[in-house]
Amino acid sequence: MTIKLYCFGESGNAYKAALALELSGLDWEPVFVDFFGGASRTPEYRRDVNVMGEVPVLIDGDLRLTQSGVIQHYISDKSGRFGGAGADRYEVLRWVLWDNHKLSSMAGLARFLMNFLPPDKRPAEVIGFVQGRLKAAYSVLDAHLAGRDWIVGDGITNADLSCCGYLFYPEPFGFDRADWPNIDAWLTRLSQTPGWKAPYDLMPGSPADRA
């Protein structure tokens, strides 16, 4: 049975789940959610898809899962990939939780405020504060990646697939790969992995569609 992933191209959290599915080899298909048209905020969506009004949502038969980290964990259980082995499983989880709190949450907010709000509605002080938080997160990740190819162990895990969630997007949000050489090299390795796709190539929906 084909796994369905409710998603849209601009969502970095959906990208984490979609990329894990794509690289896992599992049979899946995207289901476009018109977030900017208000689809995820309708009573029908909250009733039938996700009471939280968010993406991603994975549906596999009678199973319905939300939150990217949970979905990635399920993909690992189903495919046998990306979860880490032995004690590394806890290290993978540590980095997924760190990303959700320190990196993706701030990157997603900065990117939204800087690109998807009208220019006169963009709060400069909030953006500056968030970018300061992001700089600290980039520093932690860049230092950790010094001398290693992947965040945990010797291959791609959910730690990598979570932490990269927003870093492949082209819109400006205060991240310049040239400033972080270890992150830059890591992202290059990810993008050279067979089956890798950029967010707008992997999921339907992009800013160009609304231009």
Q: Is the pLDDT confidence value at 120 over 80?
A: yes
Which amino acid belongs to residue 79?
Answer: S
Domain identity same for 61 and 117 = no
Domain identity same for 93 and 181 = yes
Question: CA–CA separation, 53 vs 138, rounded Å?
Answer: 29
Domain identity same for 68 and 46 = yes
Domain identity same for 47 and 67 = yes
Q: Is the pLDDT confidence value at 211 over 80?
A: no
Q: What is the mean pLDDT of the chain?
A: 98
User: Would you state the pLDDT for residue 186?
Assistant: 99
Confidence of residue 93 (pLDDT cuts 50, 70, 90): very high
- The per-residue pLDDT for range 15-31, each reduced to its tens digit, is 999 999 999 999 999 99
Distances, alpha carbon 83 to alpha carbons 92, 164, 173, in Å: 7, 16, 29
Domain identity same for 125 and 162 = yes
- Domain, as residue range, for 27: 3-82+197-210
Domain identity same for 60 and 110 = no
User: Would you state the pLDDT for residue 210?
Assistant: 87
Domain identity same for 97 and 31 = no
- Answer for the pair 163, 100: CB distance below 8 angstroms, yes or no: no
How many domains does the structure of the chain reveal? 2
Domain identity same for 114 and 22 = no
- The per-residue pLDDT for range 132-172, each reduced to its tens digit, is 999 999 999 999 999 999 999 999 999 999 999 999 999 99
Read off the CATH number of the domain in which 151 is found. Answer: 1.20.1050.10
Domain identity same for 139 and 94 = yes
**Arithmetic mean of pLDDT, 75-93:** 98
User: Would you state the pLDDT for residue 134?
Assistant: 98
Domain identity same for 67 and 94 = no
HSE toward the beta carbon, residue 86, CA cutoff 13 A:
3
